[in-house]
Structure 1
Amino acid sequence: MRIRGTTAAEIAGSVRDQVASGELAPQSSLPPVRALAAELGVNRNTVALAYRRLVEAGVAETRGRGGTVVAAVPQLAREGVGVGVGGDRIDLASGNPDPELLPDTLAAARRGDYNRPLYGVPAVDAGLDAWARADFAEDIDRPFRTLVTHGAVDATERLLDSHLTRGDLVAIEDPCFLASIGTLRLSGYRSAPVRVDGAGMRPDALRAALEAGARAVVCTPRAHNPTGASLTAERAADLRAILAEHPQVLVIEDDHFSAVSARPYHRITPPSSARWALVRSVSKFLGPDLRLALVAADAESTVHLEARLSAGTTWVSRLLQHIARELLLDPRVHELHERAREVYARRSGLLVERLHAQGIEVPHRPDGLNVWVQLDVDARAAVAALAQRGWAVRPGHLFSPDPAAHPGSIRVTSATVTEPQAQAFAADLASVVAELRSSAG
């Protein structure tokens, strides 16, 4: 490796050229700042600035005392992928909704007035926009506009990219949605984990993240994935009061389970927030393949999103919008959502009850598709032992920016669990815990 240059731009360019040519492989260590400065005959501040530009560009990453290394594409966990389900193993890991509780998208595609739109048409279906504005108006008491994005993850990523730069600090729940971790890592943002309890984000943890310099907050107001927690009215008020002290912070609320949640929506965005967005995807109740989310946001954020989603570039398929509109306006789908709300609540409650009967406590009654179980044994060992008994679940550390966090927690997807399965799983988990306690003792 031979890095050349006498200015920060030349040094950074030399490193980038070697990364592009393969001379510098991912995870390769760059020379210490002082050593490279001496070798090139330049001030150490020049090398430090070059390294900072490489980090900002995502070419390198800093590891404290470990120095600066060439960045690699992060290996990220995803929902429904790599959980090892197969054969006789029962899937309590994927995080998916029950297919039987999703409407018929193909039938909806054939209904209505879809007219094969061409370039230049409005980016948002008028009927879907009207439905979304009415839906959001029930919860937002200030002016807003609605847009359609390619799902909640797409909306969150575009909103963050519109207002932040690489290296900025973002407050996210801990544990949190898998895709949130991936979004932050791939975009080069730093995570400020905010611990979650049964009532949602903890106020003291949010305050600490904001005082540490967080420039954005991403919060799930209900049916939090992975814990199933939902904000109470009191907790939401506490969080609003804290955020009111930081009006410059971007607030994103990801209300992903809106149509089938058993809990009310409680808003954390205070009136003083200048930049905010409420995101409601349709994946959990219309189908994961409908890559679509409805977004209500302040005027500035809407302009930024609109520029990135303008017709002729990356607007969301009007066919997908047509399907979503037909489904959301269909009374039969509303009835299906009512049923799904009851079924998901009953199944998660059933699993919690069976776990309690085995002496495994779940501290709060969850909403959504998953149950978060805290154990006093190593979660990875428990997951492996459960796999041998025919169960697929996910270890808690996957749902945190810190891989050392939540060593005794597992996430169990309850969306399709039956009563016999809940009974058998609870018994097997209790047996696994007892065995691991015995071996540890």
Structure 2
Amino acid sequence: MPESWVNSAERIGSDLHLDLSGPGSRRAVLIRALRDAVREGRLAPGARLPPYRSLAADLGLARNTVADAYAELVAEGWLTARQGSGTRVAERAAPPERPRRPKPAPGRPATAVHDLRQGTPEAASFPRTAWLSAARRALGAAPDAAFGPGDPRGRIELRRALTDYLARARGVRADPERIVVCSGFAHALRLLSGGSPGAGGGVLRGPFAVESYGLGFHREILEGSGVRTVPLGLDARGARVEELAGQPRVRGVLLTPAHQFPTGGPLHPARRAAVVDWARAGGGLVLEDDYDGEFRYDREPVGALQGLDPERVVHLGSVSKSLSPAVRIGWMVLPEHLVDGVLAAKGEREAWAGVLDQLTLAEFIASGQYDRHVRRMRQRYRRRRDQLVTALAERAPHVTVTGIAAGLHAVLRLPPGTETSVVKAASWQGIALDGLAGFRHPRAAVPAGDGLVIGYATPAEHAYRAALEALLRALLPSDAAS
């Protein structure tokens, strides 16, 4: 007998899958399937079952077969039947407890309970009420055309809102026709490099220079598309863009100029001008990853590099740090001569960012809610960073925080030769975090030293103090921590 679905949702709350295969009579098979549904929790205690006539029709069984099965299960105590109340799952027929997760074996690190990895905003801070209100307003105002085939550039409402916001908050020079909406920075990089599945060739030509420390999967996207990456050194002034002069074959460079990731410094003004001059002189291209440009705590954020030359700099941003990575929306502000090539790579039926989220984000920005949310999170993250810096100065002075007061992470510089042991000690304290060495380009000439990349934005507000205490224990020598 084949597997079947019970679809009397008004009785049991949702569709119910019953496995009616296996040996035995139809009555016996149905009894076994209903017992299994109760044991596994798919039929909860107190749930009302369909009348036997309805279930018989759903399953293609005789009414007497289902009635007899119900009666047997009532007699066994799995079900109860009362006049006027119908047939229900017995309250005592609760499913067994889930198997407990085994304790870690002696000598093994504890399971991570504190997440201090970089790159993720506090999930609990997502502005659900304001987002829902924006979604309702956006849907109410949306034209019918919004629910048909879309523009590969993205919804015009969002592109207009981004044009105004980026000009005001980041100093970006753009118009809606030069913005292409995508589903995040990685998607933008794939479109530019031709690495999207099924897409045509991208607009990037290699080799391409990248900072010697950065996200490895960004390098993998480029190299997976045939764009070889060349590391640029880093120092206190940011990426050493003067090294581009010694790389005549390099056609472009990927930078994080507002807040170098992960080491934390901004690109020096002289180097900002120099990299734009390099691009102009040789027809090169600069990709500006503005991943957390809104979050500067000690002064007003530095304006976008794109403002120096919109025809030589591609400005790339998203809401993954400011709102949530679950809102899969990013954008490219493109030089005019690249727009057609990017749209060709994107295609007419590419898996675009959802239109409903685009409309909602447009309304969220236009209504001022986005600015209010960023200001609120800027205050929260600044307070967390200050707590981290103060605690280290008081209790672990051998560890220093480097980089500017900005973003969602901080780099903790460690004594030479201690990074591996500290990362291991953190795992023993139940902390998930990243060592600085994991971000190094495999062909980087000079290591940046030992350190940790601490994502202070990731924990929930109520959990941050405990995470900070665990981190301090991991940073202290074993005799001091005991």
The answer to whether the superposition gives a TM-score over 0.5 is yes
Cα 1:199–1:147 change in 2 (3 A) is same
Between 1:273-282 and 1:390-399, the stretch displaced more is 273-282
Match of 1:110, SS?
A: helix
**Contact kept in structure 2, 1:102 and 1:285, CA below 8 Å:** no
Between 1:283-292 and 1:132-141, the stretch displaced more is 132-141
Post-superposition shift, 1:199?
Answer: 4.0
Return the letter of the residue paired with 1:92. L
Aligned counterpart, 1:99? 123
Aligned counterpart, 1:254? 289
CA distance in 2, matches of 1:200, 1:135: 27
CA distance in 2, matches of 1:330, 1:346: 27
Post-superposition shift, 1:314?
Answer: 3.8
Post-superposition shift, 1:215?
Answer: 1.2
RMSD: 3.2
CA distance in 1, matches of 2:363, 2:259: 25
CA distance in 2, matches of 1:274, 1:432: 55
Post-superposition shift, 1:397?
Answer: 2.5
**Contact kept in structure 2, 1:251 and 1:273, CA below 8 Å:** no
Aligned counterpart, 1:214? 250
Question: Quick check: 1:383 aligned with 2:423?
Answer: yes
Structure 1 residues 108-153: Cα deviation after superposition (integer angstroms, max 9, x where no partner): 4333234461125575222211111223445245777111112111
CA distance in 2, matches of 1:120, 1:203: 40
Aligned counterpart, 2:468? 422
Cα 1:233–1:433 change in 2 (3 A) is farther
Aligned counterpart, 2:404? 365
Match of 1:277, SS?
A: strand
**Contact kept in structure 2, 1:385 and 1:432, CA below 8 Å:** no
Aligned counterpart, 1:147? 180
Cα 1:134–1:273 change in 2 (3 A) is closer
CA distance in 1, matches of 2:255, 2:479: 32
Aligned counterpart, 1:32? none
Return the letter of the residue paired with 1:413. G
Cα 1:243–1:153 change in 2 (3 A) is same
**Contact kept in structure 1, 2:121 and 2:408, CA below 8 Å:** yes
CA distance in 2, matches of 1:163, 1:174: 23
Structure 1 residues 86-120: Cα deviation after superposition (integer angstroms, max 9, x where no partner): 84631112531112332224554333234461125
**Contact kept in structure 1, 2:242 and 2:274, CA below 8 Å:** no
Cα 1:249–1:243 change in 2 (3 A) is closer
Aligned counterpart, 2:92? none
**Contact kept in structure 2, 1:347 and 1:416, CA below 8 Å:** no
Identical-pair percentage: 24
Q: Pick from 220, 239, 243: which aligns with 1:201?
A: 239
Post-superposition shift, 1:365?
Answer: 3.1
**Contact kept in structure 1, 2:431 and 2:467, CA below 8 Å:** no
Match of 1:387, SS?
A: helix
Question: Quick check: 1:182 aligned with 2:220?
Answer: yes
CA distance in 2, matches of 1:363, 1:121: 44
Structure 1 residues 58-77: Cα deviation after superposition (integer angstroms, max 9, x where no partner): xxxxxxxxxxxxxxxxxxxx
Return the letter of the residue paired with 1:222. A
> What are the ranges of 5 or more consecutive residues in structure 2 without an aligned counterpart?
1-107, 195-201
Return the letter of the residue paired with 1:350. Q
> What are the ranges of 5 or more consecutive residues in structure 1 without an aligned counterpart?
1-83, 436-441
Q: Pick from 435, 442, 452: which aligns with 1:410?
A: 452
Between 1:233-242 and 1:293-302, the stretch displaced more is 233-242
CA distance in 2, matches of 1:103, 1:332: 9
Q: Pick from 82, 90, 94: which aligns with 2:114?
A: 90
In our comparison, the structure showing a higher alpha carbon Rg is 2
CA distance in 2, matches of 1:120, 1:88: 43
Q: Pick from 117, 135, 143: which aligns with 2:165?
A: 135
CA distance in 2, matches of 1:389, 1:121: 50
Match of 2:120, SS?
A: coil
Post-superposition shift, 1:371?
Answer: 1.3
**Contact kept in structure 2, 1:127 and 1:325, CA below 8 Å:** yes
Post-superposition shift, 1:271?
Answer: 5.9
Q: Pick from 87, 92, 111: which aligns with 2:137?
A: 111
**Contact kept in structure 1, 2:381 and 2:408, CA below 8 Å:** yes
Match of 2:233, SS?
A: strand
Match of 2:214, SS?
A: coil
CA distance in 1, matches of 2:467, 2:150: 52
Cα 1:101–1:174 change in 2 (3 A) is farther
Residues paired across the two proteins, number: 347
Question: Quick check: 1:226 aligned with 2:262?
Answer: yes
Match of 1:95, SS?
A: coil
CA distance in 2, matches of 1:225, 1:309: 27
Match of 2:315, SS?
A: strand
Post-superposition shift, 1:187?
Answer: 1.8
Instruction: Report the TM-score, using the length of structure 2 for normalisation.
Output: 0.64
CA distance in 2, matches of 1:88, 1:409: 20
Return the letter of the residue paired with 1:179. F
Cα 1:283–1:86 change in 2 (3 A) is farther
Return the letter of the residue paired with 1:132. L
Cα 1:123–1:241 change in 2 (3 A) is closer
CA distance in 2, matches of 1:212, 1:135: 37
The correspondence of residues 350-361 of structure 1 with structure 2, limited to 5 A, is: 350-357=387-394, 358=396, 359-361=398-400
**Contact kept in structure 2, 1:276 and 1:301, CA below 8 Å:** no
Aligned counterpart, 1:25? none
